[in-house]
Amino acid sequence: MADRRAQMSRETGETSVQVSLNLDGTGSYVVETGSEMLDHLLSQLSRHSGFDLTVKATAQRDPDGHHRAEDVAIVLGRALDRALGERVGVRRMGDATVPLDEALALVAVDLGGRGYAVVEASFATSHIGDLRSELVHHVLESFAREGRFTLHVRVLAGFNDHHKAEAVFKALAKALAWAASQDERMGGIPSTKGTLS
């Protein structure tokens, strides 16, 4: 089996981001973005997918956290795309429905090579911890676009914004883990076109 690891970095006038990703790991993580809530959500993504993940990010000019969150998602998506390689033998599609107390989130993904996101999740408060609530959508959309996968997210129930966001990232983890897992029966690119590029 091919080595499904990637290391990516991005330096701008606003942020510095380094990501290391191993799709065939054990769910170990070191996440240090400067936002405790973003750290928490990305840690859930790693732990519940089984992907090993290291994220280190700093921001120089980022008054509201937007640049940090967006750039982390961009680099994480690019790392996922690189780690998947030509996506030979992957199951390609996956979905998961995950509860967290009163919250319930459904996530479906298709690693078909087209970055697209539909996120139906509303939050009652302006911030979830130290993360602006609207950035949850932006992180998911940027991650899907740069990772070249289709993402559908629906929060089906819940009133606690922390629970809703965390349930989304746990469901995303489970859906990605299944979609990225190897299916020996496939024996090649999982597409009738013969390519996922």
DSSP per-residue string spanning 58-107? EESS-TTSHHHHHHHHHHHHHHHHHHHTT-TTB--EEEEEEEETTEEEEE
- Cα 159 to chain centroid distance, Å, stands at 23
Say what the pTM is. Answer: 0.93
Q: From its phi and psi, is residue 85 left (phi > 0), alpha (psi between -120 and 50) or beta?
A: left
For residue 171, being part of any structural domain is answered with yes
pLDDT for 125 equals: 97
191 within a domain of the structure (yes/no): no
pLDDT recorded at residue 196? 59
Nearest Cα to Cα of residue 81 among 115, 58, 109:
115
CATH code for position 123: 3.30.230.40
pLDDT tens-digit readout, 91-129: 999 999 999 999 999 999 999 999 999 999 999 999 999
Flag whether pLDDT at 150 surpasses 60: yes
Tell me if 189 is assigned to some domain. Answer: no
Q: Which range has the worst mean pLDDT, 61-70, 130-139, 174-183?
A: 61-70
Residue that the structure tokens 């992180």 belong to = 139
Residue 159 is assigned to a structural domain of this protein: yes
Taking residues 34-55, what's their average pLDDT?
A: 98
Task: Please give the pLDDT value at position 152.
Answer: 98
**Alpha-carbon torsion angle 90, 154, 52, 74, nearest 10:** 90
Structure tokens given for 120: 């139906």
* In a domain? residue 196: no
Has residue 76 been placed in a domain?
A: yes
- 181-197 tens-digit pLDDT: 998 776 666 554 555 56
Burial string for 2-37 (b: 16+ CB within 10 Å, else e) reads eebebebeeeeeebebbbbbbbbbebebebebbbeb
pLDDT band at residue 1 under the 50/70/90 scheme: low
In a domain, 22, yes or no: yes
192: in domain: no
The residue range of the domain holding 122 is 5-180
Q: How many domains does the chain have?
A: 1
Which pLDDT score, from 0 to 100, does residue 61 have? 79
- Short-list 16, 38, 20, 17, CA closest to 29: 20
